[in-house]
């Protein structure tokens, strides 16, 4: 029995039946990390001490019969989510050494349900990127082909699950940062509706777009993890008090459902033939399962990337103003005066992509350019949201590829920021409109995983999960741990 290839649901049964101890499960995962992470580099740091404490606690609770539903499950956490006493750096040198004084709500809820944190996963610096190459530490490698990127920004969280180093992981998605790496690493990844999961304790990138979500080896696992994290939190004023009903009708299937296929997504520029073929096959499986595929249109798709690359950098330039070397992280204390100290700290601490976006955002918000850029982008955001509202009048959910391409070679897009930004062309609309979206593996192209994206109306995670689950059943899809 190799526990590093099993699903959360399978392990849950074994743990609760006392056929497997949390301690043994943990040590198998720590051994797996020792064996493969030298090549994959999914983790920035492991947390063996915290993990053994949590595993011991889980075993006690399992024995006593009062264990939470995640008791003993090995979990990896993206380096943007604060965990008390565990170095959390947002993939940036500027936060090297920062140990948060508290644990954010989403992770705290997973801990309370009994999860065992094995380590902190690598990501693009401040979650800005689509390949994890912008990490201030080192790039992560795709477990399916170590010469390729895992996607990003939650590349470490996706590759840890794909490589059997953690059963589930937590990521964040601002423009596709959970769904795109999930697609490229052949795992399931979900971005919930904006407001579904509390962002308290998340190091902010773009506050009106950021959401925390699960990465897992099955749709059910993703649903279990999401349900455990979701729900109102008085510490995040944008978190919703709607019922936590994400697993409603999970197994109801797609018979009689209408799934919208947006022409603009289906025929997006740069979509690889192998990706298109995998999507066609997935659509056929959904049709066989009883869904009707209908044409819909999202006419402002061509403007999504432009609006996103005003709004996200504008918000980030303001959020990242706090990194000045005074309260935490890197600091230049030898500067002649405080202004020089800010400047030198930020020059040494921030990488190229972060600096690029801070400049872009500061420019877009500066007086004289505000109306032409920021306000204009916010108006276009309204139009993009209306496109989705109109489309959802004709269908229950929208289906497309998650990424136009499979995983690309490390280094192939780092010199061309715009080409890198285009990786998110099919996912960022979901963030601009606040929709829940899931990526589920739908086969291989050139030996590399392809992801099917399902977008649903706001607060209808249940619909996205139900469609993804129906696809999983219809296609007999089972997430394969990458051949390492």
Closest distance of CB 95 from another protein, Å: 9
Active site residue 177: yes
Applying CB under 8 A, the span of 13-21, 59-67, 172-180, 300-308 interacting with another protein comes to: 300-308
Q: For strands 258-262 and 188-191, give the pairing.
A: unpaired
The gap between the terminal CA atoms of the chain, to the nearest Å, is 17
CA-to-CA distance for 135 and 79, rounded, in angstroms? Answer: 10
CA-to-CA distance for 219 and 251, rounded, in angstroms? Answer: 11
* Binding-site string for another protein from residue 396 to residue 425, where x marks contact by CB under 8 A and - marks none: ---------------------xx--x----
The verdict on 45 binding another protein (CB under 8 A) reads no
Q: What residues between 341 and 400 interact with another protein by CB under 8 A? A: 341-344, 346-347, 350, 355-356, 358-360, 362-363, 366, 372-373, 375-383, 385
Reduced to 3 states, what is the DSSP secondary structure of residue 387? Answer: helix
Tokens 């869904």, residue located: 291
Applying CB under 8 A, the span of 32-40, 96-104, 217-225, 446-454 interacting with another protein comes to: 96-104
The verdict on 432 binding another protein (CB under 8 A) reads yes
Element at 342 (helix H, strand E): helix 338-349
Closest distance of CB 360 from another protein, Å: 6
Q: What residues between 215 and 244 interact with another protein by CB under 8 A? A: 234, 237-240
Closest CB to another protein among residues 404, 441: 404
The verdict on 303 binding another protein (CB under 8 A) reads yes
The verdict on 249 binding another protein (CB under 8 A) reads no
> 153, 154, 169, 331: which is the annotated catalytic residue?
153
Closest CB to another protein among residues 120, 285: 120
Which whole-number Å values give the CA distances from 241 to 97, 104, 230, 234, 462, in the listed order? Answer: 35, 18, 10, 10, 16
CB-CB contact of 122 with 138 (8 Å):
yes
- Tell me the residue ranges of DSSP E strands in 40-197: 43-46, 74-78, 116-121, 168-173, 188-191
CA-to-CA distance for 22 and 27, rounded, in angstroms? Answer: 9
Closest CB to another protein among residues 108, 381: 381
The verdict on 306 binding another protein (CB under 8 A) reads yes
Closest CB to another protein among residues 93, 378: 378
**Residues binding another protein: what is the number (CB under 8 A)?**
74
> 177, 239, 403, 439: which is the annotated catalytic residue?
177
Closest C-alpha to 225, from 8, 26, 46, 477: 8
Give me the active site residues, please.
78, 153, 177
């Amino acid at each position: 029995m190799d526990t590093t290839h099993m699903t959360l649901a399978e392990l849950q049964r074994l743990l609760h039946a006392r056929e497997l101890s949390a301690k043994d499960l943990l040590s198998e995962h720590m051994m797996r990390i020792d064996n493969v992470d030298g090549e994959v580099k999914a983790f920035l740091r492991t947390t063996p001490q915290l993990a053994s404490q949590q595993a011991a606690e889980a075993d006690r609770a399992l024995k006593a019969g009062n264990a939470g539903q995640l008791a003993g499950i090995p979990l990896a956490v993206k380096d943007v989510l604060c965990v008390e006493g565990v170095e959390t750096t947002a993939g940036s040198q500027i936060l090297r050494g920062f140990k948060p004084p508290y644990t954010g709500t989403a992770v705290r809820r997973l801990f309370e349900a009994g999860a065992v944190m094995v380590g902190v996963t690598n990501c693009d610096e401040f979650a800005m990127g689509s390949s994890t190459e912008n990490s201030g530490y080192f790039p992560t490698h795709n477990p399916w082909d170590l010469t390729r990127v895992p996607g990003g920004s939650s590349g470490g969280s996706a590759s840890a699950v794909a490589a059997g180093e953690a059963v589930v992981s937590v990521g964040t998605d601002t423009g596709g940062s959970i769904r795109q790496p999930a697609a490229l690493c052949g795992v399931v990844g979900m971005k919930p509706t904006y407001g579904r999961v509390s962002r308290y304790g998340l190091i902010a990138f773009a506050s009106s777009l950021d959401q925390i979500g699960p990465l897992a080896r099955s749709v059910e696992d993703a649903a279990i993890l999401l349900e455990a994290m979701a729900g109102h939190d008085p510490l995040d004023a944008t978190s919703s008090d709607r019922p936590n009903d994400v697993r409603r009708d999970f197994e109801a299937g797609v018979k009689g459902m209408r799934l919208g296929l947006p022409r603009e997504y289906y025929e997006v520029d740069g979509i690889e033939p192998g990706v298109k073929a995998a999507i066609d096959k997935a659509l056929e499986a959904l049709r066989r399962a009883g869904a009707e595929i209908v044409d819909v249109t999202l006419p402002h798709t061509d403007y999504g990337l432009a609006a996103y690359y005003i709004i996200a950098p504008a918000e980030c330039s303001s959020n990242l103003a706090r990194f000045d070397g005074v309260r935490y992280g890197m600091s230049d204390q030898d500067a002649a005066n405080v202004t020089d100290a800010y400047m030198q700290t930020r020059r040494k601490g921030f990488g190229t992509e972060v600096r690029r976006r801070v400049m872009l955002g500061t420019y877009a918000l500066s007086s004289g350019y505000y109306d032409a850029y920021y306000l204009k982008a916010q108006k276009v955001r309204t139009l993009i949201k209306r496109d989705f509202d109109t489309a959802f009048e004709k269908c229950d959910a929208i289906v497309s590829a998650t990424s136009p391409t499979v995983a690309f070679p490390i280094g192939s897009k780092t010199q061309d920021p715009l080409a890198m930004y285009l990786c998110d062309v099919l996912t960022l609309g979901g963030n601009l409109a606040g929709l829940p979206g899931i990526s589920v593996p739908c086969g291989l192209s050139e030996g590399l995983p392809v992801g099917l994206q399902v977008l649903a109306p706001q607060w209808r995670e249940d619909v996205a999960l139900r469609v993804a689950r129906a696809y999983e059943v219809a296609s007999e899809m089972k997430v394969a741990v990458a051949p390492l």
